[in-house]
Amino acid sequence: DAKTTQPPSMDCAEGRAANLPCNHSTISGNEYVYWYRQIHSQGPQYIIHGLKNNETNEMASLIITEDRKSSTLILPHATLRDTAVYYCIVRVLGSNYKLTFGKGTLLTVNP
């Protein structure tokens, strides 16, 4: 599996965009970038995934660089409820039975 690197923590003001970076310089051509988050020791929750094109859903946007060596998760209008640990995971599509979690990024949204 490709290794990912994320900053241990970030702060964001409520209502502003939160941009969470992830480096995955050893990503293979068939590996997708997945983002999950874990709110206060609850079970992790899927956010979004992508291969090489930018993706957007109701929760977030995912920007993947052209060389695919890094990506950014964007929460466009962060709320206090977005305070969580965010995990960037690189996996082959359909192999989500074997996820490798690092320590992730603790995003704290401040009022």
Among 27, 34, 75, 82, binds another protein (CB under 8 A): 34
Task: For residue 18, give the 3-state DSSP assignment.
Answer: strand
Query: 91: closest CA among 50, 45, 40, 54?
Result: 50
Please, are residues 22 and 73 in contact by the beta-carbon 8 Å criterion?
Answer: yes
Of the pair 42, 66, the CB lying nearest another protein is at: 42
Segment 44-103, which members bind another protein (CB under 8 A)?
Answer: 44-46, 49, 87, 93-94, 96-103
Cβ at position 16, least distance to another protein in Å: 27
Residue 103: exposed, middle, or buried by beta-carbon count in 10 A (0-12, 13-18, 19+)? exposed
User: Scanning residues 7 to 26, which ones bind another protein (CB under 8 A)?
Assistant: none
Instruction: State yes or no: residue 39 binds another protein (CB under 8 A).
Output: no
